[in-house]
Amino acid sequence: MRSHFNKISFAILGIALMFTAACKKNEAPAPEAPNNTSSKLGTDAIGVAGPKAVCYVEVNNNDIRNVGNYTLSTGEQLFDIGIIFAANINYNTTTQKAELYFNPQVTNVLSNASTYIQPLQAKGIKVMLSILGNHQGAGISNFTSQAAAQDFALQLSNAVTTYGLDGIDFDDEYADYGNNGTGQPNDSSFVYLVTALRQLMPTKLISFYFYGPAASRLSYNGVTVGSKVDYSWNAIYGTYSVPNVPGLAKSNLGPAAIDIQSTSSSTATSLATQTVNNGYGIYLCYNLPNTDVHTYLSGFSNALYGKTTVYTGGTTPPPTGVTFYQDSNYGGAVTASIPKGNYTLAQLQAYGFIDNWASSVKMPTGWKVTMYKNDNFGGTSWIRTSNTANFTTLFPNANDVVTSVKIQ
């Protein structure tokens, strides 16, 4: 799929954080799936006949609320499902168990559900959380027992309940099976996992990003993954390939997949036309940016629904905190939004901040940020009262030297 989130691994509070990059995979497409006849869910888009539009958002760098900023020309929401990309499966070497992990950006979205999640749900958009590996040997395909799969399913179900989510999306990437002495993929793991999760969440959504070892392990002891999940979609951006998931009808499958920031408009439109002509129910998008891309989106919305897309930006609330960026001009990895307060390095790390790392900063109007070279507010300091795109322009040079901050 993507190198699907720009992932740069680094240790924060003793835990490896993942910031992944979006580059589509280019493996050969999977074979056509059989034409199933039964559909488990109605699949028309919100308020309009046609396939559902599903969109992954890289929340390390982009705002999930952008999913709600696009409507069709007749007023219906363009996107039916927004997916927070992504939470991780970590491996606890002491307990030898898989653990659900949220990096600071994902934590910020989930902990502030009233700001980021509920406004989308109020528009009729379902909000799901994507789950994938974190290079630690744990993934959806190597649970060694039914009990282990059930334990992780309970963690997922609890997250859905705690944060008011509409479901879980499974993505079998970046597990690095075998690391930390973990096992290789087996035939029972994914079936056990989705079976347990469906029992815990009978009315919530479950989807499968058709990729990785799990894609060839979709049946065990007569139970199919397709009988437990609601949707599955192609994982190779810029291509058309029907996921081979027995048990899912055409209306629950997405053969077209695009990267909004790299798939050409003509390809996106062509894939949408194929989706409609062949009677499939999902159209998958990835990498929605913070900028206005309604012209691009109109290309495929015209093909899917016969309607152009309208940008309703300006409805997203202004930032509620300070964000530091790894690179100048607000590029690279970014911290979660940091509220007013005094922060030592250890306290900043909880928001994704790295020592001697920051190169630019954004802040709300009227706020003041005092940055310090040393921990505990010591050494050279710099006061900023507005967005600063390049710390090398400060005197003395503040690039890659900030360790603690005060935000007022």
Active site residues: 173
CA angle (142, 128, 39) in 5-degree steps: 85
**Element spanning 259, H or E:** strand 256-259
Give which of 275, 274, 279, 208 is closest to 244, Cα–Cα. 208
CA 339 – CA 15 distance, rounded (Å): 23
Query: Nearest-CA neighbor of 1 among 198, 258, 196, 366?
Result: 258
Contact at 8 Å (CB) between 230 and 206? yes
Please count the residues of the chain.
Answer: 408
C-alpha to C-alpha distance for 354 and 334, rounded to whole angstroms: 10
List 206's β-bridge partners, or say none: 168
| Sequence letter at residue 150 | Q
Residue 154: name the closest of 201, 117, 187, 110 by CA: 201
